[in-house]
Amino acid sequence: MCSIHCHFNMYLNMPLHVTAQVCCWVPC
């Protein structure tokens, strides 16, 4: 499962679908 804080931080800089992929694939 992906980290919520990682989603939140990256959501500010990326589209939602991209954010979900990056947060799932790359360690925070």
Three-class HEC string of the chain: CCCHHHHHHHHCCCCHHHHHHHHHHCCC
Tens digits of residue pLDDT in 1-28 = 555 566 565 556 656 556 566 655 655 5
* pLDDT value for 14: 58
Q: How far is CA 20 from CA 12, 13, 15, 24, in A?
A: 12, 12, 9, 6
* pLDDT value for 23: 59
